[in-house]
């Protein structure tokens, strides 16, 4: 087996695989961007007040008069951070699931940085699946329909 190639059996597994690269920079390149992005997502509600929302006005809302499929998402993250989970779920039902995933991604990549290992997941293979993206799109579409039916902006 050549270096850098995965065996067919390993490629089909959804379980994580880890390795300790020769250079710590390989770990940094693989995990630091995710730590920064997810960490910023989790920390931003502490730095910016809820009264300052929206941070950026929604172009889709300004052009069409209808909220976009993501309108209310940031507000729900702020309410989850503030502890008002019931309003967050009412406002944007899938926000709690996405918030949980952000926490998991942060922990995953932060631990990999601390331990100096490169963790690769078979779940990344799912990201290449068209079916998975159709399911994600459908979930966001139904979330949008829910918000439109309640007249939320």
Helix H or strand E encompassing 119: strand 118-120
Higher pLDDT, 68 or 13: 68
In a domain, 26, yes or no: yes
In a domain, 9, yes or no: no
In a domain, 7, yes or no: no
**8 pLDDT higher than 50:** no
**Short-list 76, 85, 75, 68, CA closest to 145:** 68
In a domain, 8, yes or no: no
Question: What gap in Å lies between CA 93 and CA 5, rounded to an integer?
Answer: 40
Confidence class of residue 128 from pLDDT cuts 50, 70 and 90? Answer: confident
Give the sign of the dihedral formed by CA 70, CA 76, CA 80, CA 82.
Answer: positive
Q: Is the pTM of this model over 0.85?
A: no
In a domain, 3, yes or no: no
**Short-list 36, 2, 11, CA closest to 110:** 36
**29 pLDDT higher than 60:** yes
Domain that holds residue 120: 20-56+63-149
Look at residue 13 in the predicted model and tell me its pLDDT: 65
pLDDT digits (tens, 9 = 90+) for 34-43: 999 999 999 9
In a domain, 10, yes or no: no
Structural domains counted in the chain: 1
In a domain, 1, yes or no: no
pLDDT digits (tens, 9 = 90+) for 62-113: 899 889 999 888 899 999 999 999 999 999 999 999 999 999 999 999 999 9
In a domain, 88, yes or no: yes
């Amino acid at each position: 087996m050549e270096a850098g190639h995965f065996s067919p059996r390993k490629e089909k597994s959804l379980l994580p695989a880890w390795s300790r690269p020769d250079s710590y920079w390989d770990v940094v390149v693989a995990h630091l961007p995710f730590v920064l992005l997810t960490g910023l997502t989790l920390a931003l509600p502490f730095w910016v007040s809820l009264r300052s929302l929206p941070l950026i006005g929604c172009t889709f809302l300004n052009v069409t008069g209808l909220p976009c499929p993501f309108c209310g998402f940031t507000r729900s993250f702020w309410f989850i951070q503030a502890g008002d989970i019931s309003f967050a779920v009412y406002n944007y039902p899938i926000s709690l699931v996405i918030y949980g995933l952000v926490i998991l991604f942060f922990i995953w990549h932060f631990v990999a940085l601390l331990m100096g290992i490169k963790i690769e997941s078979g779940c990344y293979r799912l990201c290449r699946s068209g079916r998975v993206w159709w399911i994600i799109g459908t979930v966001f579409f139904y979330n949008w329909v829910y918000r439109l039916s309640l007249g939320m902006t």
